[in-house]
């Protein structure tokens, strides 16, 4: 006689009971870890996982409670926990509890965002929320829109794809779209150009960390044909913002020059990679740092950074929804012409993916719960923590500060006789191996720096002081 099949996630009673086991395991694992990440390094973590996991595919299962209890606990015990205030290496945010709860609902119901009959309400929610967020990026545009993506890499690739398709794959005179990026730009642009069969991006040096408009003007002068200029609002290494208004002026001038010498193939659009800095739009205090953003053709924003969403929660906002028409695609079993003509929404043109989670739900819940003001307060809190950490570094005689932070990234390093880049790297690895703190690393000004990326609005002054103490203590061992 066959056993009863396991309950489905849509059964709230069964799900509630399993959630209790899961939450207990999360709590127990975090308690055992006792810090921002597990001590002992990769070998120790791998050993504990092997011991807990045993045979990954046993002949006979251990049952749902044991499996959840064992593996969720070992995952939590071996996690780099972004909710811990001393876990501050990367653009790796601690998600809000309400966003995680909404994500659970999305997982339980499992809408698939590739046809309306798989996601009736989810598709309507996505339509409303993306329209609102697109209007936040492009407040004066008559028809802005936004696509939900897996993050900055996908959004940037889509931006290059749209630029290519606007001009035709080889331009009107056989010239492919060229991409002009700064040396500070995200690595995804090189990969996107490769995937799309475009020439390698023209890389403009950024010795001061941001694009120099004069250097971009010089790069444009050497090019002909369609161009996509990429600005960054929140660089990965230093959290810096390129001069967006000046770069938008250069793109406009390139188009004006085009008309003057009758080379209709010449055209320059601006894309802004604001994966990190985009949510400053929610802050009344810091929104002016993004002046000029609305002059871009496309903008990348990640809400799993300064938006406190579980990954993934990316967006590509476009100033003109007509640009998205090239993504249209027909599969008769998903969006047959007669269904579309009868009024069923066509979702295939909303992504290059087919099966797609309703990642917009957690964002919709967060926006409704906190509003612009509430999200802005979280942004402001993290910006304030970064300034406070910079103050502490400046007061510490054994540390050097790279520069005052623009966003929430602070670069600093030990100083003194005998301190080398090797010293800086060793300090970071020591703190990792001991499970005491998670700091990143970045190269700037020809030197290696420790990087603190402060995305936890619950971090306190005491947490920041402890971070300084740990770095100073590790330097002199």
pLDDT at 1 (0 to 100): 64
Listed in order, strand segments (DSSP E) in 162-245 are 178-182, 202-204, 226-232
Per-residue pLDDT tens digits for 209-247:
999 999 999 999 999 889 999 999 999 999 999 999 999
CB contact at 8 A, 156 and 192: yes
Q: How confident is the model at residue 264, as a pLDDT? A: 54
- Whether the predicted pLDDT of 336 surpasses 70: yes
Other CB atoms within 10 A of residue 346 CB: 18
User: What's the pLDDT at 85?
Assistant: 95
pLDDT, position 174: 56
Average pLDDT over the chain reads 94
Q: Give the per-residue pLDDT at 3.
A: 76
pLDDT at position 262, please?
46
Has residue 169 got a pLDDT over 70? no
Write down the residue that tokens 């894309």 correspond to.
Answer: 271
pLDDT of residue 167: 80
Tell me how far apart the alpha carbons of residues 427 and 471 are, in angstroms, rounded to a whole number: 7
pLDDT surpassing 60 at residue 170 = no
Per-residue confidence (pLDDT) for residue 260, from 0 to 100: 46
- Cβ-proximal residues to 164 (8 Å cutoff; 6+ apart), any chain: 176, 177, 196, 198
Span 118-125, average pLDDT: 97
Average pLDDT score over residue span 333-361: 95
pLDDT for position 476 = 72
**Mean pLDDT of the region 36-55:** 95
Which of 69-73, 286-290, 415-419 has the least mean pLDDT? Answer: 415-419
The pLDDT tens digits of the residues spanning 76-108 come to 999 999 999 999 999 999 999 999 999 999 999
Q: What is the pLDDT of residue 259?
A: 47
Average pLDDT rounded to a whole number, residues 402-428: 96
User: Containing H/E element for 422?
Assistant: helix 421-433
pLDDT at 266 over 90: no
Shortest CA distance to 345 belongs to which of 89, 124, 108, 176? 124
Residue 457 half-sphere exposure toward CB, CA atoms < 13 A = 14
Q: Residues 185-192: what's their mean pLDDT?
A: 96
Element (H, E) at 14: helix 12-33
Mean pLDDT of 128-142: 98
Angle (deg, nearest 10), helices 360-395 and 120-137: 40
Coil, helix or strand for 228? strand
- Residue 57 DSSP symbol: S
The model's confidence at residue 2, banded by pLDDT at 50, 70 and 90, is confident
Q: For the chain, give the percent of residues with pLDDT over 90.
A: 91
Q: In 147-175, which positions are buried (b, 16+ CB within 10 angstroms) versus exposed (e)?
A: bbbbbbbbbbbbbbbbbbebbeeebeeeb
């Amino acid at each position: 006689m066959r056993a009863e099949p396991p309950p489905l996630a849509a059964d709230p009673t069964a799900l509630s009971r399993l959630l209790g086991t899961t939450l207990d395991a999360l709590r127990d694992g975090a308690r055992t870890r006792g810090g921002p990440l597990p001590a002992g390094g990769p070998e120790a973590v791998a050993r504990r996982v092997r011991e807990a996991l045993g045979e990954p595919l046993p002949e006979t299962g251990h049952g749902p409670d044991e499996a959840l209890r064992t593996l969720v606990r070992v995952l939590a015990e071996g996690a780099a926990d972004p909710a811990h205030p001393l876990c501050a290496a990367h653009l790796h945010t601690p998600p809000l509890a309400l966003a995680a709860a909404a994500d659970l609902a999305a997982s339980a119901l499992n809408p698939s965002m590739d046809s309306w009959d798989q996601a009736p309400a989810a598709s309507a929610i996505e339509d409303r929320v993306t329209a609102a967020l697109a209007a936040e990026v492009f407040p004066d545009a008559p028809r802005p829109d936004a696509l939900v993506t897996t993050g900055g890499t996908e959004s940037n690739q889509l931006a290059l794809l749209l630029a290519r398709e606007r001009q035709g794959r080889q331009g009107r005179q056989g010239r492919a779209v060229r991409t002009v990026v700064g040396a500070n730009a995200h690595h995804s642009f090189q990969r996107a150009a490769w995937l799309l069969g475009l020439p390698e991006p023209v890389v403009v040096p950024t010795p001061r960390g941001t694009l120099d408009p004069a250097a971009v003007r010089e790069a444009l002068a050497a090019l002909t044909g369609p161009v996509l200029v990429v600005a960054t609002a929140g660089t990965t290494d230093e959290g810096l913002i390129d001069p967006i208004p000046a770069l938008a002026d250069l793109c406009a001038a390139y188009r004006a020059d085009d008309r003057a010498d009758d080379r209709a193939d010449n055209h320059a659009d601006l894309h802004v990679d604001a994966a990190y800095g985009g949510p400053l739009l929610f802050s009344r205090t810091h929104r002016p740092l993004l002046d000029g953003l609305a002059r871009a053709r496309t903008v990348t924003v990640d809400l799993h950074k300064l938006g406190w969403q579980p990954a993934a929660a990316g967006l590509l906002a476009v100033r003109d929804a007509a640009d998205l028409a090239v993504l249209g695609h027909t599969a008769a079993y998903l969006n047959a012409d007669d269904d579309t003509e009868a009024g069923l929404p066509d979702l295939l043109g909303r992504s290059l993916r087919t099966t797609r989670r309703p990642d917009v739900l957690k964002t919709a819940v967060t926006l409704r719960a906190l509003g612009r003001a509430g999200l802005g307060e979280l942004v402001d809190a993290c910006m304030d923590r970064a300034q406070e950490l910079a103050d502490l570094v400046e007061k510490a005689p054994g540390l050097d500060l790279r520069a005052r932070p623009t966003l929430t990234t602070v670069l600093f390093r030990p100083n003194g006789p005998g301190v080398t880049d090797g010293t800086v790297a060793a300090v970071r690895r020591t703190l990792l191996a001991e499970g005491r703190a998670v700091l990143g690393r970045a190269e700037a000004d020809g030197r290696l720096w420790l990087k603190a990326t402060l995305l936890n609005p619950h971090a306190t002054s005491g947490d920041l002081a402890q971070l300084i103490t740990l770095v100073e203590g590790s330097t002199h061992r």
